[in-house]
Structure formats: structure tokens, C-alpha cells
Amino acid sequence: MSAAARPSHSRDEIVRKLFDLFRHRGFEGAALSDISEATGLGRSSLYHHFPGGKDEMVSAVADFAHSQIEANILAPLAGDTPLAERVDAMLQTTSEMYDCGREPCLVASLMVSPGLAPESAGKVQAILKDWIAALAAALEGAGIPAAEAKRRATAAIIDIQGALLVARASADTGVFTGAMETARRNLLAPA
């Protein structure tokens, strides 16, 4: 087996592969056979890395996704550049993260799963809650009243998440691009 074809056994690499799998299949849709195929690991190796089973895998994936959002979206929103630059950077990163509306959202894929453990569900929910809070804080810092900042931040995330669903269902990335433009316009509207 070549080095390129050999499965990675580091927990970080396994979590990245699980992220892609859960993002596309959700919790219920990812069977153990799918998890083994995606990671290249058998059942015993998977349980070695994740003794808590699928719930622990989702928890690790949620932690990974949250760290990616923190580093690439939340931290730049807290910067000291002009608000428009921070919002543009957030929207650019968001567009890249979702491949302009072609890739699903992990949060949406997991939150429709009734079997998700409460601890994992809380971690997944925190991703969007923290994103809204960071965006609202950036708007507030630019002089927008707190209630209006929270409303705009929430509406922007609704625009983005809703557009992901519609863009994927219709195979029309223009829906996502349009929603991103709408979100930008609404976020940066005068106070």
C-alpha cells in the first residue's frame, strides 16, 4: 500500500475525516461501516480512539468545527480593522468554508438527528450561538445598538444557513452568493 493510500491513524486526521462524513451524512446517516470506510479504520481501532463510540466522535467533530470557526471567523471579527473589512473577511471565509453554497453545514446536518446526545448537541449549537455573538459584538463595537446588532447578526446567519439549504437543493450557487450580498448589505446598513 502506498503512503498516499495508507489510512492515517492520528486522532486529528480521523476527526477531519469524520467532520466531512458527518457534514454530508449527519449523525443518523453515518453508519459504522461508513465511518470505517471514511477513516480506513476497523471497529476496534475506532473504539480505541473514541471509547464513547459515535457520540464521542461527534463531540470531537463539534470541537474541531468550533475551533475552525473561532480561528477563521470569530477571531477576525474581533479585530480592530474597519467593520466592513471584518464583515467582508467573514463572508469570504464563509463562502470558502461552504464552497459557495455547494457544501453542507455541519450544524444543520447534525441538528436534524434525533439521536444526538445532549452534550454533543450543546457543542454543535454553540457553534452558531458563538458566531452570532461575535458578529453582534463587532456590530456593537461599530456603534450599532445592542438589540439591533443582535437582530442583524441573527438575520445574517439565518440568511447564510437558509441559502445553504436552498442552494444545495436547487444546485444554484447564485442563491448563496445573493444571500451573502444581502447579509453584507444588512449588516453594514447605517445605524
Contact 163, 101 (CB under 8 A): yes
Taking only the tens of pLDDT, the chain with its 191 residues reads 444 444 457 899 999 999 999 999 999 999 999 999 999 999 999 999 999 999 999 999 999 999 999 999 999 999 899 999 999 999 999 999 999 999 999 999 998 878 888 999 999 999 999 999 999 999 999 999 999 999 999 999 999 999 999 999 999 999 999 999 999 999 999 97
Contact 40, 82 (CB under 8 A): no
Give the CA angle between residues 134, 66, 99 to the nearest 5°.
90
- Quote the pTM value: 0.89
Q: What's the rounded Cα separation, in Å, for the pair 191 and 188?
A: 8
Q: Domains of the chain (ranges plus CATH)?
A: 63-187 (1.10.357.10)
Q: What does the buried/exposed string (b/e) look like for 87-103 if buried means 16 or more CB atoms within 10 Å of the residue's CB?
A: bbbbbebbbebbeebeb
* Residue 40 grid coordinates: 480506513
Q: Which residues contact 58 (CB under 8 A, 6 or more apart)?
A: 22, 27, 110, 116, 117, 120, 124
